[in-house]
Structure 1
Amino acid sequence: MLTKIFTWWNGATIGALFDIAKRATLVGEDDQGNRYFEERKATLEGRKRRYVLYKGYAEPSRVPADWHGWLHHTFEQPPTIEPFVLKSWEKPHLPNLTGTVFAYRPKGSLAGAGERAKSSSDYESWSPE
């Protein structure tokens, strides 16, 4: 209960949940369990604010492209009404894996196994002579 009051990175705080429940309506949910909301009333600029409540850790790279476009008013209709059509060459969405065990570690990197391959123009330290 205390984490809901004081931490925002473990999901939304109680104040945010109360405010969004009071002013917005649920529009949909993505494959990862993130929920998307839109305010009932438009702002002074004439657009309705849009929100995402992350399931678990708040990591913006977990938002898929279709929902990202809707959140930033690129698409007027949410993916629940007008699904995003993927091209044949597009890969499925992956969140940022940096800092996890699934991060890319090329051969020879400090975090990866193995040694860096020598090159013909390898580094030589500068000397003043």
Structure 2
Amino acid sequence: MLGKLFAWWNDATPGTFLTLAMKGASKVGEDEYGNKYFEEKKATASDGRKRRYVIYKGYADASRVPMAWHGWLHHTYAEPPTGGEPRHVWEKEHQPNLTGTVHAYKPSGSLSRGGHRQSASGDYESWTPEG
């Protein structure tokens, strides 16, 4: 329980659940990653729309929200997805964003790989004020 009080990046805190209860938000659905989606009963946003929320399962990673649920959260779609929406041929499976982790992509020449790059034809010369 102590972890729930302070670990906002991993599931929801008691404050989040309290806010959802005070706003009268009801659960609308859940996606294949276990994220839960909520919508307020009354419109309280300045534009007259009902606010919509997501509670992530595990680490809060916004890139794990499927396309259909993203559209619903941002009021692109009026109705929440049913789960039976067809996937497009060009859609790929989710890959986590590894930026800032030890598994991040580091191309040759990057400072985190030593900063040495291969020579190129017509290589540049750094600017000097004398020359």
Settle same-fold status: TM greater than 0.5.
yes
Q: Which runs of at least 4 in structure 1 moved beyond 4 Å after TM superposition?
A: none
- After the TM superposition, which of the residue ranges 32-41 and 7-16 deviates more from structure 2? 7-16
Q: How far does residue 51 in structure 1 lie from its aligned partner after superposition?
A: 0.3
2:34 partner letter: G
In the TM superposition, what are the counterparts of 1:94-109 in structure 2 within 5 Å?
94-109=95-110
Aligned to 1:64: 66
Distance between the aligned counterparts of 2:113 and 2:33, measured in 1?
29
Aligned to 2:13: 13
1:70 partner letter: W
Distance between the aligned counterparts of 1:40 and 1:95, measured in 2?
33
In the TM superposition, what are the counterparts of 1:34-113 in structure 2 within 5 Å?
34-43=35-44, 45-80=47-82, 83-111=84-112
1:15 alignment partner, SS class: helix
Q: How far does residue 101 in structure 1 lie from its aligned partner after superposition?
A: 4.2
Aligned to 1:32: 33
Unaligned runs of at least 5 residues, structure 1:
none
Distance between the aligned counterparts of 2:105 and 2:6, measured in 1?
33
Distance between the aligned counterparts of 1:14 and 1:2, measured in 2?
10
Distance between the aligned counterparts of 2:62 and 2:11, measured in 1?
12
User: Does structure 2 retain, via aligned residues, the 8 Å contact 1:24–1:38?
Assistant: yes
Distance between the aligned counterparts of 2:32 and 2:112, measured in 1?
31
Identity among equivalent positions (%) equals 60
Q: How far does residue 71 in structure 1 lie from its aligned partner after superposition?
A: 0.2
1:75 alignment partner, SS class: coil
Distance between the aligned counterparts of 1:80 and 1:40, measured in 2?
20
